[in-house]
A and B are shown apart, each in its own frame.
Chain A
Amino acid sequence: GDSVTQMEGPVTLSEEAFLTINCTYTATGYPSLFWYVQYPGEGLQLLLKATKADDKGSNKGFEATYRKETTSFHLEKGSVQVSDSAVYFCALSGVQGGSEKLVFGKGMKLTVNP
C-alpha cells in the first residue's frame, strides 16, 4: 500500500532558525499531499496541501512543494518562532488496505527555544 516516510525527530531549534522537515512518499497514482500540525493538547489541523505535481502549498510562513520526480514534499520555514513548537505530520491521500484514505507519517516533534 501507499506510505509516507518523514523525519521523526525530536528536533530542537532556536528562534529564527531555518526549518526543514523531510517527507517522501510511495504511492500508486497521483495522490494529494498534506502537512498537518498538532499543537500541545490539541487535535491535528491542516497546515498546507498540494494536489498535483509542482504545486506549492503555503501557510503561516511554511511552504512545501510537490516534487513528483523525487516523490517528496519537504516542509520549510525560513524563521521559526516559539509558537511553532508542535508535532508535524506529513500525509497523502492514497490507497492502503484496498481503499483510499489519508495515510500519515509518524510525525516529528519540533521544539523552538527563545
Chain B
Amino acid sequence: ETGVTQTPRHLVMGMTNKKSLKCEQHLGHNAMYWYKQSAKKPLELMFVYNFKEQTENNSVPSRFSPECPNSSHLFLHLHTLQPEDSALYLCASSQDVAGGRNEQFFGPGTRLTVL
C-alpha cells in the first residue's frame, strides 16, 4: 500500500449503530487530519493530530470520536449519528502541522450514509 488509505470506502448505517472509519498513511508523516466533505459546502476540518496528540477539535459533536494510536493510524468512531452527518469523510496526512504550509496528502474517502 502507498499513500493514504481509508476503509471502508462506503458505509451505510442506522442512527443507532456504532461504526468506525480507519485511515492509514504509509508516508512517514507526523500529522493526520479528518475532514468532512458535504455537497455545496467548503471542506470542513474536524480534527488534527500531531505526533499522536490531538491539537484541534473544530467544535465537532461528541457523536464523532477520533483515536490516533500512532502516527500512521487514525480512526473515527461513530455512534448515534444523524442523517445530516451523511457525507464523504476524508483523511489526510502531512509531514507535520506547520500551519498548513506542508502539502497534505488525502485518502480516497469514506462515503457515509446515515439512514
Interface set of A (CB-CB < 8 Å, partner B): 32, 34, 36, 41-46, 49, 51, 89, 92-94, 97, 99-107
Contacts and interface: CB of A to CB of B under 8 A. Distances in A.
A101 B99 contact: yes
Contacts of B109: 42-43
A32 B43 CA distance: 18
Contact of A101 (B6, B41, B100): B100
B42 A101 contact: no
Contact of A43 (B41, B48, B90): B90
Q: Which size class do B's interface residues fall under?
A: 20 to 34
B108 to A, nearest CB: 5
Contact of B43 (A42, A46, A51, A104): A104
B2 interface: no
B106 interface: yes
B40 A106 contact: yes
